[in-house]
């Protein structure tokens, strides 16, 4: 049931379907969305006087909002709007918060224990004293996405300039890198899903700098998930950009190789780590943690990595994170010798390789970070509709936020709309809508970039 509502009467939990002005004249990216934040309410009140809401698609269904169908009715007694808003945002309850913090503390303690026992791990192993932050407040992905697009483009431009500088034997600018990283960090803190979505939608014809940006985005999202504060996130972001910068100094024919490397070629490929460290050495005041990550991101859990054959916690938590992310982003990218794998297949490989190549506890945390259904994934619903995952719910992993683009007849909607499964929306049969299956890339000739990239 749809009804027209004055913007001053809007509440969190209402589903907006129409505005009293063109959507392009407003900050709202998608035509149809659930009100979940105070900022959305303020923006609606700034740009509109009346909007149309769908009571059936609002949180709790029409029974919670029937009073709005009569402009003279009052809010029912006991209808707790702040409580509803809290429900929509699904915050971690106090018990879950304590459990989450305990898990993160134990993870950091695991890596710090080696240092305490007298061994000599890298500096990123000593992190017990760093505060743990649970980033609960998120900007809506629809609002963050345009900002993330501008930041992503600026990052691409920077990496292209960085690579050209290295190729010309010029010293790259740390200040410029820090500006780019700070913007990436800000976006990831507001909502990591926007940049993560862009990593899945970008053109992949420039692997060198696309891979660098992917590394930075995933390391930042991973660090956010593990509760690291802003200053630590900046180190993760900078390291992500610089992990493989040394490959610029390798022969082009080596990088475009399609078959297996010979032993000599592999030995030459491994020198990119030292080249990366040499480039970092030309930049002033690079944090030691960044150097540590670049130096250790090819070390492996069982000691089979390079250059120093470090094992397990000797690699350090940041170095171990970098190794996982570098492998994941390579697997999910188009390369000269391999097609891009879907995110779930790449995760399955990481699980398979855990305890041999990657730290099992960190692989599990990375999987939790990106979710069962990665943003950008095409899915089919129990209604037969088709959508694109645009947001994760950490507590309810099978209830992501979607942009619905095809109807049950598999024909495109004239106006794609958002659907958040955490609100338990009901289908035409009255049953809660659920995910039926993940679809392959290109299913029904869908190109998600058409919906998100300008």
Which CATH code for domain 104-370?
A: 1.10.3210.10
Instruction: Give the Cα separation of 434 and 424 in Å (integer).
Output: 8
Instruction: Give the Cα separation of 222 and 11 in Å (integer).
Output: 33
Q: Is the pTM of this model over 0.85?
A: no
Q: What's the pLDDT at 226?
A: 96
Low-confidence spans in the chain with pLDDT less than 50: 71-92, 116-119, 124-128
For the stretch 31-75, pLDDT in tens is 788 888 888 888 888 888 889 998 888 887 777 787 776 543 333
Q: What's the pLDDT at 278?
A: 95
Of the candidates 444, 451, 446, the residue with the CA atom closest to the CA atom of residue 403 = 451
Q: Are 58 and 14 in contact (CB under 8 A)?
A: yes
* Residue 417 β-bridge partners: 404
Q: What's the alpha-carbon Rg for the chain, to the nearest Å?
A: 24
Q: What's the pLDDT at 182?
A: 97
- How is residue 269 written in tokens? 């490929």
Q: Are 276 and 322 in contact (CB under 8 A)?
A: no
Where is 4: in which H helix or E strand? strand 2-6
Instruction: Give the Cα separation of 227 and 212 in Å (integer).
Output: 23
Domain boundaries, the chain: 2-89, 104-370, 378-452
- How is residue 108 written in tokens? 């950091």
Instruction: Give the Cα separation of 394 and 413 in Å (integer).
Output: 29
Instruction: Give every CB contact of residue 352 below 8 A, 6+ residues apart in sequence.
Output: none
Q: What's the pLDDT at 70?
A: 53
Q: What's the pLDDT at 262?
A: 87
- How is residue 387 written in tokens? 């959508």
Phi, psi of 432 (to 5 degrees): -60, 140
Of the candidates 384, 377, 439, 368, the residue with the CA atom closest to the CA atom of residue 402 = 377
Q: Are 215 and 237 in contact (CB under 8 A)?
A: no
> What angle, 0 to 180 degrees and rounded to 10, lies between the N-to-C axes of helices 272-281 and 263-270?
20
Q: Computed from CA positions of residues 246, 248, 249, 253, in that sequence, does the dihedral angle turn out positive or negative?
A: positive
For the stretch 133-179, pLDDT in tens is 988 767 888 889 999 999 999 999 999 999 999 989 888 889 999 99
Instruction: Give the Cα separation of 76 and 437 in Å (integer).
Output: 39
Q: What's the pLDDT at 205?
A: 52
Q: What's the pLDDT at 87?
A: 39
CB-neighbour burial class of residue 107 (10 A; exposed 0-12, middle 13-18, buried 19+): buried
Q: What's the pLDDT at 114?
A: 65
Of the candidates 56, 222, 258, 227, the residue with the CA atom closest to the CA atom of residue 127 = 227
Alpha helices in 297-342 (DSSP H): 317-331
* Residue 402 β-bridge partners: 389, 419
Q: Are 187 and 435 in contact (CB under 8 A)?
A: no
Instruction: Give every CB contact of residue 248 below 8 A, 6+ residues apart in sequence.
Output: 163, 166, 167, 208, 275
Q: Are 315 and 122 in contact (CB under 8 A)?
A: yes
């Amino acid at each position: 049931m749809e009804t027209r509502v004055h913007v001053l009467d809007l509440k969190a939990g209402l589903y907006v379907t129409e505005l009293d002005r063109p959507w392009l004249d407003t900050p709202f990216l998608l035509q149809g969305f659930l009100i979940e934040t105070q900022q959305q309410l303020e923006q609606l009140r700034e740009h509109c006087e009346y909007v149309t809401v769908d009571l059936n698609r609002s949180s709790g269904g029409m029974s919670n909002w029937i009073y709005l169908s009569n402009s003279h009715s009052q809010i029912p007694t006991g209808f707790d709007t702040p409580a509803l808003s809290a429900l929509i945002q699904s915050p971690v309850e106090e018990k879950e918060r304590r459990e989450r913090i305990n898990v993160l503390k134990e993870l950091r303690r695991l890596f710090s224990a080696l240092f305490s026992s007298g061994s000599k791990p890298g500096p990123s192993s000593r992190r017990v004293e760093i505060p743990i932050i649970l980033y609960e407040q998120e900007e809506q992905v629809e609002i963050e996405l345009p900002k993330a697009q501008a930041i992503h483009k600026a990052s691409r431009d920077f990496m292209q300039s960085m690579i050209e500088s290295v190729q010309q034997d010029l010293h790259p600018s740390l200040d410029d890198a820090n500006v780019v990283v700070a913007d990436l960090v800000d976006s990831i803190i507001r909502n990591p899903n926007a940049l993560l979505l862009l990593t899945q939608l970008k053109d992949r014809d420039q692997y060198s700098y696309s891979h660098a940006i992917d590394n930075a985005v995933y390391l930042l999202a991973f660090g956010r998930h593990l509760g690291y504060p802003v200053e630590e996130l900046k180190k993760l972001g900078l390291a992500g950009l610089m992990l493989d910068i040394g490959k610029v100094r390798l022969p082009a024919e080596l990088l475009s190789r399609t078959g297996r490397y010979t032993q000599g070629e592999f030995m030459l490929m491994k020198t990119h780590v030292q080249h990366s460290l040499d480039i970092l050495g030309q930049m002033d005041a690079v944090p030691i943690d960044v150097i540590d990550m670049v130096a250790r991101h090819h070390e492996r859990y069982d000691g089979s990595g390079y250059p120093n054959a470090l094992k397990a916690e000797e690699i350090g938590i940041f170095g171990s994170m970098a190794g996982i992310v570098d492998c994941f982003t390579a697997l999910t990218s188009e390369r000269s010798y391999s097609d891009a794998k879907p995110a779930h297949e790449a995760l399955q490989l990481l699980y398979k390789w855990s305890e041999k190549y990657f730290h099992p506890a960190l692989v599990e945390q990375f999987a939790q970070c990106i979710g069962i259904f990665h943003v950008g994934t095409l899915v089919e619903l129990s209604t037969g509709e088709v959508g694109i995952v645009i947001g994760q719910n950490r507590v309810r992993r099978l209830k992501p936020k979607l942009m619905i683009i095809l109807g049950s007849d598999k024909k495109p909607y004239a106006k794609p709309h958002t659907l958040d499964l955490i609100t338990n929306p009901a289908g035409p049969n009255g049953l809660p809508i659920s995910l039926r299956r993940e679809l392959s890339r290109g299913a029904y000739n869908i190109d998600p970039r058409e919906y998100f990239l300008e």
